[in-house]
Amino acid sequence: MPPTLTDIIRELEALAAYDGPWRPLRDEATLLRERVDELRERDQRLGDVLVVALVGGSGVGKSTLINAIAGDELAEASAFRPCTSIPTVYQPPGVQLGFENWNVVTGSALEHVVIIDTPDSDTVVKEHRARVQEALLRTDLVLICGSAEKYLDEATWSLLRDLQEQRAMACIETKADQGESVRDHWLGRLQEQGFKVDAYFRVNARRTFDRKVSGGEAGSDEFDFPKLEAFLRDELSRERIHRIKKSNAAGLLRMTVARLDEAVTAKAGNLHELEKEIQAAEAACAKEAFELVRRRLFAEPHLWNYALGREIGMRAKGIMGTVYRLVEGIRGLPARMASWLPGIGSGGSGHQAAAILADKEAFREDFDLVGRDLATLFSHTQSALDLDFAKSGFDLDEDPEAFKAYAADLQQQIDRVLRGPARDRIVTRARFLTSWPMTILLDAGPIAFIAFFCYNAVSAYFTTLLPTAWFLNSITVLIIILFGELFLMSLIARSLAWNARRGAIRDLRTALASSGQAFARERKALKQTDALLQRLGEIRKSL
């Protein structure tokens, strides 16, 4: 279902509550709040009586007109000078609309209509003109009053021009007995000014007032006054009043959204460019961070061999597994001895990476890879971004902790990769190399030679004594086989370690590129603004 006026007002309230860093929308928030308050009031008044205002210049007969409608002298009238300084409100009994500070007259026979006689719109008295504006704010229907000598009144038009499509309007040509009708010329000029007029009446209010006071019969010299009374009494039914009020509210809503759209949408054209700049800045920082980590953690492939060798040694089985474990233990003995000494062998980033890959908790607290080059690049990039954001109307607060948060996020991403995918690759390859099929395959050569040696030794025992040289040659051949198998196993392990290192580099590049913490402040401001603009776009489409 399409959104109701109440739904749209609620959406506009969210926009009016904006106090974020984007200046174009923040500057419009105050006026938008006023419009939202007016819209909410009009929404709540859709079922109330219709408020009609008589508006026009001095001497056009507004007071005489309301007296003629009432059949009583409610307002002082004069054809030569301004008389109304305080609006006169003519309303049915029981109506409470907050007009107590004005001249309120109760007793109107118009059940659903309240009529306000406003001060002259061309007055030079500021207080009088302010009261006209106040009356217009509460008005649903404006009856523009003019006479043959005064109907092209710029002072009146200036008050009504901003209310086009927000108020229903009709024209009343007063003093019809004093000359030819100005209907065509007046309506033509109003149309040129963009006014939409729903009805036009040409009346002789003085004649009607005199007739009602004396109790006489209506005559043709009153012109369209009977039609005006029928319009106010019969045509303005509850249903039509509701349509007028709803149309006025819709007009105000369209004007509000159009003004807001004009104020902010035109200035939002470069927000997509800012998004691209953020992406480019994050990519530059991610690339620098990746290169830094790659140089410090992945530049020593032998440490990956060490990490894989340790995992293989922990899981090794069979003859070759035992030999491999002994050789790896002897080869790693210097590094372990160095790690026992304080300050020796434990400070390098490579050793730290190897320790993490080996699932050790050592060095975790001091595992800091943030370099000065990255901090400098981040600072320069952020300054350039802040300048571009300022040009686009953003007032961003300084964030001295931005790089610290980014460095912490990098550290977390690196730690996650090394302890997650990178270590999983090491463990997976170690399990492959120490699996039973690989163990049997690697042990096949030594076992076959040992079986051959045992067979010959046992056979020779019953026939002839084997010479010592035969035993020495056999041991030499066994050692050659073992070293050959060990070399093959080490070669496979190095190939697997190299492959794991390449995969970890890819994982690290992806993880650092996907980190969104580099410029979180700028991205948050842009995301918030974009969400509000999308909400404004949805409101615009729903109208």
Q: What predicted TM-score, i.e. pTM, was given to this entire model? A: 0.69
CA 413 to chain centre: 27
Helix (H, G, I), strand (E, B) or coil at 444: helix
Tell me how far apart the alpha carbons of residues 336 and 531 are, in angstroms, rounded to a whole number.
57
CB 113 within 8 A of CB 235: no
- In the beta sheet, which residues pair with residue 145? 172
Please provide residue 390's backbone torsions phi and psi, each rounded to the nearest 5 degrees. Answer: -65, -40
pLDDT at 418: 80
- 91 bridge partner residues: 106
Angstrom distances, CA of residue 366 to CA of 184, 352, 361, 363, 503: 89, 9, 11, 5, 25
Residue 179: burial class (beta carbons within 10 Å; 0-12, 13-18, 19+): exposed
Query: For residues 255 and 32, what is the distance between their CA atoms, to the nearest angstrom?
Result: 11
Residue that has been written with the tokens 């530059």 in this structure: 284
Return contacts of 38-42, CB within 8 angstroms, 24+ apart.
38/137, 38/252, 39/5, 39/9, 39/12, 39/249, 39/252, 39/253, 39/256, 40/9, 42/245, 42/248, 42/249, 42/252
The angle at the Cα of 190, spanning 189 to 193, to the nearest 5 degrees, equals: 90
Residue 304, token pair as written in the block = 């990956």
> In the prediction, which pLDDT does 364 show?
46
Number of neighbours of residue 37 by Cβ within 10 angstroms: 13
8 Å CB contact between 2 and 11? no
Residue 261's alpha-carbon distances to 12, 536, 538, in angstroms, are 12, 7, 11
Supply the pLDDT for residue 372.
Answer: 74
In tens digits, what is the pLDDT along the chain, a chain of 543 residues? 678 888 999 999 989 999 889 998 899 999 999 999 999 988 988 889 999 999 998 889 898 999 999 998 887 654 444 455 789 999 999 888 888 788 999 988 888 999 999 998 888 788 888 899 999 988 999 999 999 888 888 888 889 988 888 999 999 999 998 889 999 999 999 999 889 999 999 999 999 999 998 888 888 889 999 999 999 999 999 999 999 999 999 999 999 998 888 888 877 878 888 888 988 888 888 888 888 878 777 776 777 888 888 888 888 888 888 888 888 778 766 656 655 555 544 445 455 556 666 655 443 444 455 567 788 888 899 999 999 999 888 998 888 888 888 888 888 888 888 888 888 888 899 999 999 998 899 889 888 988 888 888 888 776 776 778 878 888 898 889 888 988 898 899 889 989 988 898 888 888 887 766 788 889 889 999 998 888 888 888 888
| pLDDT at residue 422 in the model | 85
Output the six-digit token pair for 142. Answer: 């404006």
